[in-house]
Amino acid sequence: MDRRSFLRIAGASVGIGVLYEFAPFLNRSSQADEITAFFKKANGEAPANFTFAQFSDPHVGFQGPPDPLGTKAFESAVALLNKAPRQPDFVLFTGDLTHDADNRDMHAQRMQLFKKIAGGLRTRVIHTVPGENDAALDGGVLYREHFGETHYSFDHKGVHFVALDNVSQGRPEVGAQQLAWLKADIARFPKTAPIIVFTHRPLFDLKPEWEWFTRDGDVVMNTLAPYENVTVLYGHIHRHDVHQSGNVMHYAARSLIFAFNDPATNENKKQLPFDSNDPFKDLGIRLVTSKDAEDKTAALGVKDVVLTKAEFAGLSGMQQMMKHSNSPGMSSSGDSD
């Protein structure tokens, strides 16, 4: 299968999060037939075009410098996606759903608030992985109570999705047990099967001194290497980034709370300041849409998305939104990613 046919990414100026559109089988081929037959046999679901969205790092519970907006960006993203004429099949959340808290009860409240906001999505299906704020301190105990397993997989319309946990061991690490699970999980699929891995931290050494890496990320990538159509979606770094390693494209999503500075040009990691004239500055969506099957000029079309003041001002019930920021379980203290 032509790899370019698997994932088409383009962007549009709208808002927060990332919307992906897949056309798994644009060209009929023997490989496509093989995968079609495999997925039909495995779960009765035939490959078909579909869309999904990626939201990341809402850090529910964080409020204060550099971002006084609390959950406003997250709520804006939900409202924005709800307006889309074509709803995605599901939404992936790539970690740091909540901001860490000083005590268990407060953290549980933040998880409940996350679920309440996410529950406002017209798209009813969401899939999540934890970030270190959600699961690193207690090994994922509280996260599992609210969201289920930290690593798992599922199939959807001809694509195999793998949720990887590289936070709940405390270290930036997947760990031997999960690596063994991953190997056994994807061994069920032909080498041409489309696979999307979603996780929190980068699986390569993006900036280790900023803790933007996974200790055994190279082992993960070696496990995935035999598979021809793998894409990794992740969060954690609060900025857009695209990286290729071998056959695999890694896409980082912007956050729903604040951005970090550029690792290529800065020694120290810093949160970018809040701009009251541009409240959602550096927060944006990358929309991923299919390109014409005949277009051979580029593998992917990506357009950065900027959330404008119109989206910020267009929310109804502004006072109710701001009330969320003063809800129990919200704090203005503490560090963050």
Partner 1 sequence: MQKSIRIKTFALASGALGILLATAVPPLSAADNSNAVPNSMQTIQIHAKRYQFEPSIVTLKRGETVKLLLTSEDRTHGFMVKPLGIDTDIEPGKTTEITIRPGKAGTYTTICDHYCGLGHNGMKMKIVVEETAAKSSAANVVSASNTVSK
In the complex, least distance from residue 133 CB atom to partner 1, rounded to whole angstroms: 8
In the complex, least distance from residue 174 CB atom to partner 1, rounded to whole angstroms: 14
- Extended beta strands in 157-193, E state: 159-163
In the complex, least distance from residue 310 CB atom to partner 1, rounded to whole angstroms: 33
The DSSP annotation for 93-140 comes to EES--B---SSHHHHHHHHHHHHHHHTT-SS--EEEE--HHHHTTTTT
For residues 165 and 130, the answer to whether their CB atoms sit within 8 Å is: yes
Instruction: Name which of 190 and 208 has its Cβ closer to partner 1.
Output: 208
Peptide bond into 65 cis (omega under 30): no
Interaction site with partner 1 (CB under 8 A): 100, 102, 132, 136-137, 167, 170-172, 205, 208-209, 211, 215, 269, 333-337
The DSSP annotation for 127-158 comes to EEE--HHHHTTTTTHHHHHHH--SSEEEEETT
Residue carrying the six token digits 């936070």: 167
Instruction: Name which of 15 and 95 has its Cβ closer to partner 1.
Output: 95
In the complex, least distance from residue 168 CB atom to partner 1, rounded to whole angstroms: 9
Structure tokens at 127: 């899939």
Instruction: Name which of 215 and 243 has its Cβ closer to partner 1.
Output: 215
Instruction: Name which of 290 and 336 has its Cβ closer to partner 1.
Output: 336
In the complex, least distance from residue 334 CB atom to partner 1, rounded to whole angstroms: 4
Instruction: Name which of 104 and 191 has its Cβ closer to partner 1.
Output: 104
Instruction: Name which of 209 and 295 has its Cβ closer to partner 1.
Output: 209
Do the bridges between strand 248-252 and strand 241-245 make them parallel or antiparallel, or are there none, so unpaired?
antiparallel
In the complex, least distance from residue 34 CB atom to partner 1, rounded to whole angstroms: 41
Write the burial class of residue 93 (CB in 10 Å: 0-12 exposed, 13-18 middle, 19+ buried): buried
For residues 165 and 199, the answer to whether their CB atoms sit within 8 Å is: yes
